[in-house]
Structure 1
Amino acid sequence: MKAVLGACQVIETMNEKRETMLIRRCLAVFLTLALLAPCVLAGERKGPAWFETVKFKGDLRLRYEGFDHPGKYEDGERNRFRLRYRLGLVADVADGIRIGAEMRSGNPLDPVSDNQSLDGAFSKKEISLAQMYVDFALSGRFSLIAGKFSPKKLWKVSDMQIDDDVVSEGAMGRWLFGGHGGALSKVQANAWAYALEESSSGPDAYAWGAQIYPEFKLGGHAKLTVGVGYEATVRPELVADLTAAGKLEGNKMTHFLSEDGTLLSDFQVANAFVEWKNSASERWPVKVSAFFYKNLGANGVGKNNDSAYFARVQIGDYKKPGQMAFRLSRYYAEPDAIFYAWTQSDTTRGSNLDGYRFDYRVGLHSGGHLNLTWYRTDSAVDAWPPIGSTTTANLSNFDSETMDRWQVDYILKF
């Protein structure tokens, strides 16, 4: 029996080494393409000198925020004022090569929030390097971005799965194909590899994934996008260890744990999504989106808590003074459906979420608008541990009280 167990351990170690070698080879390919791109794109530059292409952009947000959360604060209520500041630049340094950098406010240990609370008796606030990347347009159909970058506008995800403030580290390839006429207007595919945590005593933690989504034209004003995706978080325990040690702040860890205190499930999340847009009314455009998630790596009691969905309806636009938009969002995630570390931070629920969000936005002036937001959230799983389970967890991470949260934002983009 000992010989069999020993053989199994050897095989497991070999599999881990193969996984590590595979991701390192993928990253090596990405980096090799990045190094060769200047040679591929070399030639006489057309247009202005690179320093004439530098563009600065940024935004400022001032926020009042209130909470009604029985059992969490004195009298169940809390109020605070916060600010967010982001300033970055992009430049076309050569034909087909763009670089970018950005500084952001907020706690550098918090990957899901750029906010800075107004407290500390006039003490100085933190600002950190948030982005530094190079983006190669290697052809009319393929581009590669590498470094530390915001993936928000590069792929299709919900803010329940990945908070809008998250800045990834690694590389992403993007393929775009035309539809050659007819109802199919285009097809986009993305593939990525992200570094999460380097370990000096064992294999590293990383994430990789891919998605594909065609877009269809429905008449003269409507578009329909449908897609599927998959993302695997390899050795997520290293990320959970960072949270436990206070080296990663933001979302609390809300997954099922095994008897030895480690994560019960792996995270191999498949998803499907659909998005419909209608711009028949310039004043009241409509956008409807829905995402569905299934964690194929769930184990034990996690297999009964491995699903999530997100839906959003938005009507209107707020980019011009006097224009307004209304938005309603539905969040639902069981504890082991999606990985906790980068989920929507404003719900305060991590991966264990049952909630709603309502937004009202109105344009005030060029680049500026007012945003009123209300959240009502609860835990998808309240009772702990599940009946008949020996699974353990930190009970404080499974809050059974309903939380109301409201925000008043002034946002200026420049």
Structure 2
Amino acid sequence: MNMMKQAGRIRPALLALAMSTAFAAPAEAGERESLEQLRSTTVGLIEALVQEGILSKEKAEGLIRKAEQARQAPASAANPEEVSTPAVAGAVGAQGDSNVVRVQYVPEFVKQQLRADIEKDVMAKLNYHVEEERLKLPGWLDRITFEGDVRLRYEPDRFSGRNLEELRYGTYVNRQAMIPNTQDDQNRYRVRARFGINAKLSDTFTAGIRMTTGHMDNPLSPNQSIEIRQSKLDWGLDRVFITAKPYSWLTATAGRFANPFFSTDMVWDRSLAFDGAAVTFTPKFNGGMSAFGTIGAFPIDQVRTNSVNKAKDKWFLGAQAGFEWVSPNHSSIKAGIALYDFKNVEGIQNNVDGFDSRYNATVMPYRQKGNNTFDVMQNGRSSCGTVTIPGTTFLGYSGDGCGLASEFQVLNLTGQVDLATFDPVHVILQGDYARNIGFDQKEILRRTNTLFEEENEAYQVKLTVGMPEMKHRHDWQAFIAYKRIEADAVMDAFTDSDFNLGGTNAKGTILGGSYGLDENTWFTARWYSTREVSGLPLSIDVFLFDLTARF
């Protein structure tokens, strides 16, 4: 890598040497001042090559010696005033003035071709080792880029005394069936590490992969608690994708990749990977105006359907359209409207004979908490509606029998105003609103025999002041936000995993800030203060103290 940087530094010097030799000779090439100036420049560049380790000292001295001999040879053969250089196609004038050297005109296209040939030759000769061996580095290295970060976190979680110590079966217990703890404060020490490789395959195609820490049964959080007894941390493939960009306004991506939609963490957790395929359109217009649109299909859970398993594949379709306007001072307004249509995520009830299991797999394979659920098994052995008491076994994922009561078709409006008047300090205001238009109280009653309240709206407002992104030393940022998510407004499996320790049926305030300690290293402190929207009392204060280093 150092040798590549070295090559990058000396490239301009070599080009300058070549260009000065080919074109820098003045029309009156007999002038001693110009020749001495060219000689001085050439000697200086040769000495620089020696210092960089590209040329040995012996070879450099040989080059200078040959140049000196070439300079002195014409002077001994004839009057220096009458010497004409062989590199110049000229002749002594017919008028008898032997002091005039006539230079033939070189067309511009010839000069350009010569420059290209010289650059190609110089770059071919640039592939040196310090000892003048060839580097022999493969060309694909120029198309590879690396990225990654490491984050250390201290997380104190504080539970209110108003929380019920022992949750009894009731109307709203099913929302909280996945809470392992409502009373005991805890302090967690966590880490996150990510490392990615991106490759430019051609002018159209790129590909990438990224590894990250995190438990393999959690699609959201890449955080992992650290303790000596754990021995090793889990490390998995978080991104694997191929992207095609045949036009500047069209991008298509398939595989496992980052969120392709303009959104906040109210609907999608920032760390969630999207599996599937998406196409994004970004046409640009005059006056700083542009539009964007994204469509995609994403599998959630692929189910093996057969005679004893009637559940279907879970997946969702997403579509979004919006616009962005950027002013001459880089202030901007951006807004988008999206519809996320989830397929086959609602639970279906088995027969009441206690032995039917055809629809067990309609249960979501991963949930946090908050969405209304019901018992799909009807055999009395389901943990749905049963709350785990601290110190007992924690149940809450696939196989627990808690099927989602509602269908989900989430209409999402997202907007952002970024004022760059005080650049580099920005004032950014974000707003987000979501409504589950798939919630149908009558249909839910028919399918579950339970009447659930219509709690299907969510919104968030956030104000940020400071640098939009933490990059440099002394960069800073402060933010405050308020969020309210009703029980069935969004899928509790995919929303922010830090707010209320994940899930829906929560409202509260977020307060925090970041400060740049050095280049690509910063400290962030955040406080989430939340409580339930409805149902049994649940108040949680989450503090996050993060030290992040990016490379």
- Does the alignment reach a TM-score above 0.5? yes
- Partner deviation per Cα, 1:76-126 (whole Å, 9 max, x = no partner): 421110000000110101121000001100101101100110126142111
> Once the two structures are superposed, what CA deviation does each residue of 1:208-229 show, in whole Å capped at 9, x if it has no partner?
1111111123563421112211
Q: What's the CA shift for 1:363?
A: 0.3
Q: Distance in 2 between matches of 1:409 and 1:349?
A: 18
1:126 maps onto 2:234 in alignment = yes
Query: What is the 5 A alignment of 1:64-83?
Result: 64-70=154-160, 71=165, 76-83=184-191
Q: Give yes or no for the alignment of 1:166 onto 2:303.
A: no
Aligned ranges 1:224-239 → 2 under 5 Å? 224-237=333-346
Cα-to-partner distance string for 1:373-404 (whole Å, 9 max, x where unaligned) = 11111121224xxxxxxxxxxxxxxxx22111
8 Å CA contact retained: 1:349, 1:378? no
Q: Which residue of 2 aligns with 1:307?
A: 457
Post-superposition Cα deviations, 1:347-384, rounded to whole Å, max 9, x if no partner, equal 2240222121112100011110000111111121224x
Range moving further from structure 2, 374-383 or 91-100: 374-383
Match runs of 1:53-92 below 5 Å: 53-70=143-160, 71=165, 76-92=184-200
Tell me the residue number matched to 2:370.
Answer: 254
Whole-angstrom CA distance in 2 between matches of 1:111 and 1:243: 19
Unpaired runs of 5+ residues, structure 1, are 1-47, 384-399
Q: 1:186 to 1:229 in 2, by over 3 A?
A: same
Contact residue 62 and residue 84 of structure 1 kept, 8 A: yes
Output aligned runs, 1:6-405, within 5 Å. Answer: 49-70=139-160, 71=165, 76-119=184-227, 121-151=229-259, 154-179=260-285, 181-182=286-287, 185-201=289-305, 202=310, 203-218=312-327, 220-237=329-346, 248=366, 251-258=367-374, 260=376, 262-300=403-441, 304-317=454-467, 318-347=470-499, 348-383=501-536, 400-405=537-542
Take 2:235 and 2:347, find their aligned partners in 1: how far apart are those partners? 26
The separation in 2 between residues aligned to 1:50 and 1:215, in whole angstroms, is 36
Query: Structure 1: which amino acid aligns with 2:473?
Result: P
Please say if residues 302 and 335 of structure 1, whose CA atoms lie closer than 8 Å, have aligned partners that are also in contact: no
Q: Is the 8 A contact 1:106 1:115 kept in 2?
A: yes
Contact 1:51 1:93 in 2 (8 A): no
What secondary structure is seen at the aligned counterpart in 2 of 1:319?
coil
The alpha-carbon distance between structure 1 residues 291 and 75, as it changes in their structure 2 partners (threshold 3 A), is closer
**Residues in 1 aligned to 2:521 and 2:247: alpha-carbon distance in whole angstroms:** 36
In the alignment, what sits opposite 1:413? 550
- Name structure 2 gaps, 5 residues minimum: 1-137, 166-179, 349-358, 377-401, 442-450
Deviations 1:61-89 (A, max 9, x none): 00111011135769742111000000011
**Conserved? CA contact 2:473–2:519, under 8 Å:** yes
Q: Residue type of the partner of 1:231?
A: Y
Query: What letter is aligned with 2:460?
Result: F
Structure 2 CA distance for aligned equivalents of residues 89 and 59 of structure 1: 12
- 1:271 offset after TM fit, Å? 1.4
Partner in structure 2 of residue 30 of structure 1: none
Where has structure 1 moved over 3 Å in runs of 4 or more?
A: 48-51, 70-76, 217-221, 237-245, 258-262
CA distance in 1, matches of 2:205, 2:228: 43
C-alpha distance 222-303 of structure 1, shift in aligned 2 (>3 A): farther
Structure 1 residues 259, 128: CA separation in 2 closer, same or farther (over 3 Å shift)? closer
Question: How many angstroms apart in 1 are the aligned matches of 2:139 and 2:181?
Answer: 56
How many residue pairs were aligned?
Answer: 344
Give the drift of 1:324.
Answer: 1.2
- Alignment CA distance shift 1:104-1:96 (3 Å): same
SS in 2 for 1:345: coil
Return the TM-score normalized by structure 2.
Answer: 0.59
Distance in structure 2 (CA, Å) of the matches to 1:338 and 1:130: 23
Asked whether the 8 Å contact 1:172–1:193 carries over to 2, the reply is yes
Give the match's secondary structure for 2:493: helix
Instruction: Say if 1:294 and 1:337, in contact at 8 Å, map to a contact too.
Output: yes
> What is the CA RMSD across the aligned residues, in angstroms?
2.4
Partner of 2:444: none
Instruction: State the Cα distance separating 1:192 from its structure 2 match.
Output: 0.9
**1:205 touches 1:238 (CA, 8 Å); kept in 2?**
no
Residue 242 and residue 65 in structure 1: after superposition, are their counterparts in 2 closer, same or farther (change >3 A)? farther
Q: Label 1:122 to 1:256 Cα distance change in 2 as closer, same or farther (>3 A).
A: closer
Q: Distance in 2 between matches of 1:109 and 1:262?
A: 19
Shift of 1:140: 2.0
Q: Distance in 1 between matches of 2:263 and 2:304?
A: 32
What's the TM-score, normalizing by structure 1? 0.78
CA contact (8 A) 1:50 1:94 kept: no
Change (3 A) 1:89 1:147: same
Contact 1:265 1:302 in 2 (8 A): no
Give, as a single letter, the amino acid of the residue that structure 1 aligns with 2:157.
F
Percent identity over the alignment is 23
Higher deviation after alignment, 293-302 or 267-276: 293-302
2-structure distance, mates of 1:321, 1:68: 32
SS in 1 for 2:513: strand
The answer to whether the 8 Å contact 2:347/2:363 transfers is no
Q: Distance in 2 between matches of 1:368 and 1:243?
A: 44
Say if 1:296 and 1:91 are closer, same or farther in 2 by CA, change over 3 A: same
How far residue 196 of structure 1 moved from its aligned partner, in angstroms, is 1.0
Report the CA distance shift for 1:174/1:50 in structure 2 as closer, same or farther (over 3 A): farther
Q: 1:136 and 1:50, CA in 2 relative to 1: closer, same or farther beyond 3 A? A: farther
